[in-house]
Chains A and B, each alone.
Chain A
Amino acid sequence: MTTTESTPTNSGPALTRRALLGRMGVLAGATAIGPALLAACGSDDDSVDSGGGGGSSKALWFENWPAYIDEETVALFAKESGLDFNYTEGFNDNAAWFAKNQRLLADKKSVGPDIVAPTYWMVARLINLGWVQELPLDAIPNAANLVPSLQKPGWDPTGAFSLPWQSGMTGIAYNRSVTGRDLTSMADIFDPELKGKIGMLTEWRDTVGLTMLLLGADPSTATLASAGPALDKIEEAAKSGQIRQFTGNDYMDDLASGNFAACVGWSGDISQLALDNPDVRFAIPEEGGMQWSDTMILPAGAENVDNAATWMNYVYDPENAARITAYVGYNPPVVGVQEILAAGSDEEKALAESPLLFPDEATLARLHVFASLDEDAESGFEERFATIIGA
Chain B
Amino acid sequence: MAGEEDQTRRSGGAVPYALLSPGMLWLILFFLVPLGTLFKTSLSTKPSRFIPELSFSWRIANYTDALDKYSEQFIRSFVYAGAATLLCIAIGYPVAYVIATRGGRFKNVLLGLVVVPFFTSFLIRTLAWQNVLSDNGPAVGLLDHLHLMGLLDALGVAVDGRLLATHAAVIGGLTYNFLPFMILPIYVSLEKIDLRLTEAAKDLYNNGWQAFRRVVLPLSMPGVFAGSLLTFIPAAGDFINAQFLGSPRNSMIGSVVQNRFLEQGDTPTAAALSFILMAIITAGTLIYAKVLGTDDLI
Contact = CB atoms under 8 A, between A and B. Distances in A.
Interface of A: 23, 26-27, 93, 95-96, 98-99, 102-103, 106, 125, 129, 195-197, 238-239, 241, 243-246, 250, 253-254, 257-259, 375, 378-379, 382-383, 386, 388-391
A23 B259 contact: no
A336 to B, nearest CB: 38
B262 A23 contact: no
Contacts of B264: 95, 379, 382-383, 386
B245 to A, nearest CB: 9
B250 A390 contact: yes
Contacts of A244: 164-165, 247
Chain A contact residues, majority secondary structure: helix
B265 A390 contact: no
Contacts of A26: 123, 240, 243
A243 B248 contact: yes
A99 B263 CA distance: 8
Given A106-B51, A125-B50, A259-B135, A23 B261 contact: no
A1 B268 CA distance: 42
Nearest to A94: B263
A95 B263 CA distance: 5
Given A375-B48, A391-B256, 19 more contacts: A93-B262, A95-B262, A98-B50, A196-B159, A239-B249, A241-B159, A241-B247, A244-B164, A257-B134, A259-B136, A375-B50, A382-B263, A383-B264, A386-B256, A386-B259, A386-B263, A389-B259, A390-B248, A391-B255
A98 B262 CA distance: 8
Contacts of B136: 257-259
A98 B266 CA distance: 12
A96 B123 CA distance: 18
B246 interface: yes
Given A27-B123, A95-B263, A375-B48, A245 B246 contact: yes
A390 B255 contact: yes
Interface string B137-150: 10000000000000
B182 to A, nearest CB: 24
A257 B139 CA distance: 14
17 contacts: A23-B123, A98-B50, A99-B261, A102-B50, A106-B52, A196-B165, A241-B159, A244-B247, A245-B248, A259-B135, A259-B164, A379-B264, A383-B264, A386-B259, A386-B260, A390-B251, A391-B260
A125 B48 CA distance: 13
Interface in B35-78: 48-52, 73
B127 interface: yes
Contacts of B199: none
B160 interface: yes
B131 interface: yes
A196 B160 contact: yes
B123 A98 contact: no
Given A102-B265, A238-B248, A257-B137, A391 B52 contact: no
